[in-house]
Amino acid sequence: MAKNKKGVEIAQIIPDRCIGCQICLGECPVGAIQITSAGVALIDPEACIGCGKCFQVCPVGAVRFERKRHFPINKEKREPEKREAVEFRGVAIFIEVVDGLGAQVSWELVEKGKELAQKLNVKVMAFILGYQIQKIAEEAIALGCAEVHMVDHPLLKKYISQPYGKALAFLCTEVKPEILLIGATPLGRDLSAVVATYLNTGLTADCTDLDIDEERGLLLMTRPTFGGNIMATIYCQQHRPQMSTVRPRVMKAGEKDFNRHGQVYYHDLTVADTPVCEIIDFIREVPQVGGVDITIAPALVVAGKGACDPSSLPMLQELADLVGGQVACSRPVVEAGLMPYERQVGQTGKTVAPKLYIGIGVSGAVQHLVGIQGSEKIVAINSDRHAPIFQIADVGIVGNYLQVVPLLISGLKKKLHTAGR
């Protein structure tokens, strides 16, 4: 092991593995670690005292250090507040209300919540806020919730951050669930951040997987980081509830069974008399010509940066029609003003999982790929043979799309004709 001038056996960063998360920086008791301009950690050998804390906390094994048995290193970083942890029980799901019904994403989370609750041997509960929402309680029970906790109040008729945030936080302090799941819709993302701050607890957004560490009874939340380059599994050790948001269509909803039973509890809303916001109007989105929901299309023709040409749109639409799908796009196309945001696929757009994904001029930036991983078949047309999308495409063509797509269209028409369609 390396030693510094004082003969102390020091820790060293392995730059290629370092992801710049800075956890080691905070842990170092003598401030011997800094982040270089390249974004990786660097240990000052002369300042290092060889305690090995950085080695312990590094999540990616980017610290080279061989511990000698000189100091017993304390594994417990903080005093566990045991009382708090034991008092919180149950898996709660926030049910978002859309047009008087429970949102589909909320039911997807209820199904997942049941799985988690089973592993923990606790109840699944629905938390519902709104006005005149009794029907939704019935839905929640039909989908398997053992308990439903409601705050039914005129002030909660429409979503406004503060009253909803306070009400949901209030429910959590009353009911004390150990886990709270919220659908990552615009409303859900807004609400979850407010609630997590009120409750001073950890929130992990856009999780793609949820599981239980059965040994410690902790929720394990997996999400993409660094634009999707790396998946991270995160946990919230002490703070409660452990909060997580999940995007629509990542989990699967269960079947409704109206023979199921459950308890419904009504809670009173206690809100201080602070001036609240006033919703003046709601302008429903005028659906585009042939109102399109790209998330339910069985096939998608996706235009990327390399196909950012307005004159080629009719051709792409023709291809989409032929394969029974819709036209969508990646972020650069929206930023160029060629298609509306509603058609954007990717991490900051919509997650899609069509049966057939055809990427045209899509390079395959990781943030885009994260939004299409669930597609059954991914095919790509790109003039750059080194484009990353070819690394995951089931089949691809290297060529100019303006030449390839017309041939593809005529080829498909022939096949359709032969198949008698």
Neighbours of 289 (CB within 10 A): 6
Task: With CA atoms as reference, report the closest residue to 228 among 348, 359, 369, 22.
Answer: 369
Binding of residue 198 to another protein (CB under 8 A): yes
How far apart are CB 232 and another protein at their closest, in Å?
A: 5
Angle, CA 139 vertex, CA 143 and CA 247 arms, to 5°: 65
List the end-to-end C-alpha distance of the chain, in Å, as a whole number: 71
Binding of residue 377 to another protein (CB under 8 A): yes
Tokens of 276: 């609240």
Tell me which residues in 328-357 interact with another protein (CB under 8 A): 335, 341, 347-348, 355-356
Binding of residue 367 to another protein (CB under 8 A): yes
Task: With CA atoms as reference, report the closest residue to 203 among 230, 169, 156, 250.
Answer: 169
Binding of residue 293 to another protein (CB under 8 A): no
Binding of residue 403 to another protein (CB under 8 A): yes
Q: Which residues pair with 130 in a beta bridge?
A: 152
Residue placing its CB nearer to another protein in the complex, 180 or 299: 299
Tokens of 70: 């000189």
Of 84-92, 115-123, 276-284, 308-316, which part binds another protein (CB under 8 A)?
276-284
Please tell me the distance from the alpha carbon of residue 301 to that of residue 283, in angstroms, as a whole number: 29
How far apart are CB 86 and another protein at their closest, in Å?
A: 17
Please tell me the distance from the alpha carbon of residue 93 to that of residue 61, in angstroms, as a whole number: 35
Tell me which residues in 142-171 interact with another protein (CB under 8 A): 159-162, 165
As a residue count, the chain comes to 421
Binding of residue 68 to another protein (CB under 8 A): no
Please tell me the distance from the alpha carbon of residue 114 to that of residue 109, in angstroms, as a whole number: 8
Please tell me the distance from the alpha carbon of residue 79 to that of residue 211, in angstroms, as a whole number: 25
Of 47-55, 83-91, 185-193, 260-268, which part binds another protein (CB under 8 A)?
185-193
Using the rule CB under 8 A, which residue among 138, 190, 309, 318 binds another protein? 190
Using the rule CB under 8 A, which residue among 154, 259, 273, 282 binds another protein? 282
Using the rule CB under 8 A, which residue among 7, 29, 186, 290 binds another protein? 186
Using the rule CB under 8 A, which residue among 5, 7, 29, 37 binds another protein? 37
Binding of residue 239 to another protein (CB under 8 A): yes
Of 113-121, 148-156, 306-314, 403-411, which part binds another protein (CB under 8 A)?
403-411
Using the rule CB under 8 A, which residue among 70, 235, 266, 293 binds another protein? 235
Residue placing its CB nearer to another protein in the complex, 132 or 237: 237
Binding of residue 411 to another protein (CB under 8 A): yes
Q: Which residues pair with 91 in a beta bridge?
A: 124, 179
Q: How many residues bind another protein (CB under 8 A)?
A: 115
Tell me which residues in 94-123 interact with another protein (CB under 8 A): 98
Binding of residue 285 to another protein (CB under 8 A): yes
Binding of residue 273 to another protein (CB under 8 A): no
Task: With CA atoms as reference, report the closest residue to 316 among 337, 347, 343, 346.
Answer: 343
Binding of residue 197 to another protein (CB under 8 A): yes
Task: Assign residue 22 a region (left: φ > 0; alpha: ψ between -120 and 50; beta: otherwise).
Answer: left
Q: How many CA atoms lie within 13 A of 62 on its CB side?
A: 20
How far apart are CB 89 and another protein at their closest, in Å?
A: 18
Tokens of 240: 């409660």
Q: Which residues in 47-184 belong to E strands, given as ranges?
A: 63-64, 91-95, 97-98, 101-102, 124-130, 147-152, 179-183
Residue placing its CB nearer to another protein in the complex, 69 or 215: 215
Using the rule CB under 8 A, which residue among 64, 227, 249, 313 binds another protein? 227
Q: Report CA-CA distances (Å) from 107 to 134, 254, 256.
A: 16, 7, 10
Residue placing its CB nearer to another protein in the complex, 264 or 392: 392
Binding of residue 231 to another protein (CB under 8 A): yes
